[in-house]
Amino acid sequence: GAKSSGRGCFHYFTPGMRASIQNRITLINDLRNAISNQELSLVYQPIFEISSQKIYKAEALLRWHHPSRGMISPTDFIPLAEESGLIIEIGDWVFEQACLQVAKWRRQYADNFQISINTSPLQYRSNTDSPADWLAWLAKHRLDAGALTLEITENLMMTDYDKINQRLAQLRQSGMEISIDDFGTGYSSLSYLKKFHIDYLKIDKSFVQKMSKDSDDLIICEAMVVMANKLGIKVIAEGIESTEQMQLLKDMGCQYGQGYWLAKPLTVEQFETLLGSNTRYKI
């Protein structure tokens, strides 16, 4: 045990660490009630067609408004949701909210509008019925699966990939589109393109942001765009923050883009204002 190995060797739980573990447990407990307490919401970041700068579709991004801590970033609470298994319930909630929103926008603005949602690989594991539940839910509400794109982060797709692939294929058959998020940051990016039947890849913002300063990142971006174009996969560049990045992406033939330079994630109300003024779906 720790004692017999001598003092000072086993600092598993320093005071700081204990606080952070306690903090995690507290946050997980708070997260457990976040749905019923109506603390979760979705914001929508438009995805633009680069050549026309018109809205192409929207990505739903989850927000947690904690009653005492304020806004907590999904980068902080999604890992807790995954660790605790709450990601299933939260993921189902996100799915249903986004479906209802896209159905509404289809009625109001354009009957072919689409929304992307972020999903965790855990939602496709064998121990959950989520994918089947989603399809049943869509059928019950008479909603078109083609209104949805499922984004999945590639670096977590490493494990259990046969099952994940099988379920993604089934969802794709129903009409949903599949997108690999944060492309280029995982381990076997290129092999996934062959293994998975995907519709989109999203170039991770780290490449886009370094593109104008680092010629290697520019080359990697160009290679991803060329490769995707040749494979018939649509490309979305994430994290566009400058005119220069826009121009470089346009020049290399990247079709779609997303980023603060174009628009930040917006509330439903803000998004609707934008839809009414700048969209290829404008009626």
In the complex, the residues that contact ligand C2E under the rule CB under 6 A are: 45, 61-62, 73-75, 78, 94, 118-120, 151, 153, 181-182, 205, 238-241, 258-260, 265
Q: Which amino acid, residue 51? A: S
Which window, 73-81, 113-121, 193-201, 257-265, contacts Mg ion (CB under 5 A)? 113-121
Position 258 contacts Mg ion (CB under 5 A): no
Least Å from the CB of residue 5 to ligand C2E: 40
Among 84, 101, 114, 118, binds Mg ion (CB under 5 A): 118
Least Å from the CB of residue 147 to ligand C2E: 16
What is d(CA 150, CA 280) in angstroms, rounded to the nearest whole number? 22
Q: How far is CA 96 from CA 11, 31, 89, 93, 132, in A?
A: 45, 18, 11, 5, 13
Least Å from the CB of residue 263 to ligand C2E: 9
What is d(CA 241, CA 75) in angstroms, rounded to the nearest whole number? 20
Among 30, 151, 154, 177, binds Mg ion (CB under 5 A): 151
Least Å from the CB of residue 118 to ligand C2E: 4
Q: How far is CA 174 from CA 68, 103, 177, 269, in A?
A: 41, 17, 9, 30
Instruction: Give the residue among 95, 48, 117, 61 at the shortest CA–CA distance from 281.
Output: 48
Q: How far is CA 212 from CA 50, 152, 186, 260, in A?
A: 17, 27, 22, 16
Interface with Mg ion (CB under 5 A), residue total 6
Q: Which residues of this chain interact with Mg ion, rule CB under 5 A?
A: 118, 151, 153, 181-182, 238
